[in-house]
C-alpha cells in the first residue's frame, strides 16, 4: 500500500504519488501560494471557485493515450471556455458555461458539427439545424433546463452584435441543459441574458475551472455533487497528432465506476441500492472538440463514441436523462464561410479508416471529464435545505490503491 504520509504530506500535496519529482512538488507549492495571494488581493472569481484537484493529480490514469497540455477541451487549438456562476441566498445555485469553437466570428466562419442523442429526455436548442446542415454558427451554451430560452435569446443578441453580422437575419443558437432543480430554485429562472453574455465574454483558452462552476453549479451525478468536467487526449504523430477535447455538464445517475473500479458499489451508493433509490435522471451534456479535419458525418460518429465514455463511468442513460453529445472540428481548412462566390467548396477531410484513434480518444476523454467533474465538485446546500455531498475522495483513493490503480500498488 502507498504510504499516505508520502503521498500526501500536506493539504496542498494531497494525492501526489510518492514518486513525484521534487521539482514538481515545488512547482505545485508555488502554484498554490500564487493562488492564495490572488485570493487575498482580489477575492474568489469564477475561474478560481472550484477545487484544484484533477483525477490525474492523484496518479490515477484512465485509458492509454496522453493528455494535452492542460488536459482540458481548450487543448484543442482555438477553443475557449467561459463560466458565469450564480450563487445567491439559500436557494439559487445555477449558472452558464459557454464553449467557443474559435475566437473569431463563428457565424461568418462556421464549424463543421454533428449531434448524437444517447437519450432524448432533454433540450438541445438548435440541434435540428446542426443535423440538417452539419454546421455550428454560434458558441455552445450550457445552462439549466428552464433557462434555455433566456440563453438562446442572449446568444442571438450576442451573434447579431458581432462586427460583420449587420445583415444577418437568421441565427441558430445552440443551447444545452441539465435540470439542477434539486439544489437550485429552477422555477425562479434566475439566469439573465446578462449572465449569458458575461459567460461568453469571460471565455478564454488555457486552464478551465471545473466542479461547482457555471452550468455545473447545481448539478448532481451518481448521488454526489456533479459539475463541469473536462479532459483531452493527444494522438501520437503517426496517427496525425490531433487533439480531442471534451467538456461535460454531469447531472445523471447509475453505478459509479472510476478506471474500472466499482466505486458506487463499494461505497454502497448507487441506483436501486437501499441508500440511493431516487430517480437517476437529470442529463449529461457532452461537448467534443477536435482539430482533426472532419466533416459532419465523421463528427457524428465521434459524438457517438462520447456516449460510450459516459457508459464507462457507470451511467445508464435512464428514462429521465437527456444525454446529448455535440462534436465539432476547429480545423480552419474545413470551416464553412457564411457567404462565398464559389459554388463548390473544396475540403480535405480524414478518411473513415483513419478515425478509430480519434474514436478512442473521445471515449477516454469523456470518461475522464466526467470523473474530473466529481473530483473537483464540493459539497453544496441549496433549495429547501437540500445538501449534496462531494465524492469522498479519500475513501475513493484508498479503494484505488486496493484495486491497484495508484502507481506502485499494481
The residues assigned a catalytic role are 283, 321, 323
C-alpha cell at 369: 471529464
Residue 358 near residue 340 (C-beta atoms within 8 A): no
Amino acid at each position: 500500500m502507498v504510504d499516505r504520509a508520502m503521498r500526501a504530506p500536506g493539504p496542498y500535496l494531497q494525492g501526489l504519488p510518492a514518486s513525484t519529482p521534487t521539482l514538481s512538488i515545488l512547482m505545485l507549492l508555488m502554484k498554490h501560494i500564487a493562488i492564495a495571494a490572488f485570493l487575498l488581493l482580489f477575492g474568489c472569481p469564477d475561474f478560481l471557485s472550484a477545487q484544484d484537484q484533477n483525477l490525474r493529480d492523484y496518479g490515477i490514469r484512465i485509458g492509454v493515450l496522453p493528455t494535452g497540455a492542460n488536459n482540458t477541451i481548450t487543448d484543442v487549438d482555438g477553443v475557449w471556455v467561459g463560466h458565469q456562476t450564480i450563487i445567491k441566498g439559500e436557494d439559487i445555485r445555477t449558472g452558464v458555461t459557454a464553449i467557443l469553437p474559435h475566437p473569431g466570428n463563428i457565424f461568418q466562419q462556421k464549424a463543421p458539427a454533428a449531434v448524437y442523442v444517447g437519450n432524448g429526455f432533454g433540450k438541445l436548442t438548435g440541434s435540428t439545424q446542426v443535423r440538417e446542415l452539419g454546421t455550428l454558427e454560434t458558441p455552445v451554451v450550457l445552462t439549466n433546463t428552464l433557462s434555455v430560452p433566456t440563453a438562446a435569446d442572449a446568444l442571438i443578441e450576442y451573434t447579431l452584435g458581432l462586427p460583420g453580422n449587420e445583415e444577418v437575419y437568421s441565427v441558430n443558437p445552440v443551447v444545452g441543459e441539465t435540470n439542477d432543480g434539486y439544489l437550485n430554485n429552477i422555477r425562479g429562472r434566475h439566469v439573465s441574458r446578462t449572465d449569458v453574455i458575461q459567460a461568453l465574454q469571460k471565455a478564454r483558452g488555457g486552464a478551465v475551472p471545473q466542479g461547482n462552476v457555471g452550468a455545473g453549479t447545481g448539478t448532481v451525478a451518481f448521488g454526489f455533487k456533479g459539475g463541469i468536467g473536462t479532459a483531452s487526449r493527444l494522438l501520437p504523430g503517426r496517427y496525425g497528432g490531433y487533439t480531442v477535447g471534451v467538456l461535460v455538464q454531469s447531472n445523471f445517475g447509475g453505478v459509479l465506476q472510476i478506471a474500472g473500479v466499482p466505486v458506487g458499489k463499494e461505497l454502497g451508493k448507487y441506483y436501486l441500492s437501499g441508500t440511493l433509490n431516487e430517480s437517476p435522471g437529470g442529463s449529461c451534456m457532452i461537448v467534443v472538440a477536435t482539430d482533426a479535419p472532419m466533416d459532419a458525418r465523421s463528427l457524428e460518429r465521434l459524438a457517438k463514441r462520447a456516449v460510450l465514455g459516459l457508459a464507462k463511468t457507470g451511467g445508464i442513460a435512464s428514462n429521465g436523462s437527456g444525454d446529448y453529445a455535440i462534436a465539432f472540428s476547429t480545423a480552419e481548412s474545413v470551416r464553412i464561410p457564411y457567404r462565398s462566390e464559389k459554388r463548390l467548396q473544396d475540403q480535405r477531410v480524414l478518411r473513415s479508416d483513419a478515425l478509430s484513434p480519434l474514436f478512442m480518444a473521445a471515449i477516454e476523454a469523456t470518461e475522464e471529464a466526467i470523473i474530473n467533474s466529481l473530483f473537483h465538485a464540493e459539497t453544496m446546500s441549496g433549495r429547501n435545505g437540500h445538501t449534496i455531498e462531494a465524492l469522498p475522495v479519500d475513501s475513493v483513493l484508498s479503494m484505488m490503491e486496493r484495486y491497484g490503480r495508484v502507481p506502485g500498488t499494481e
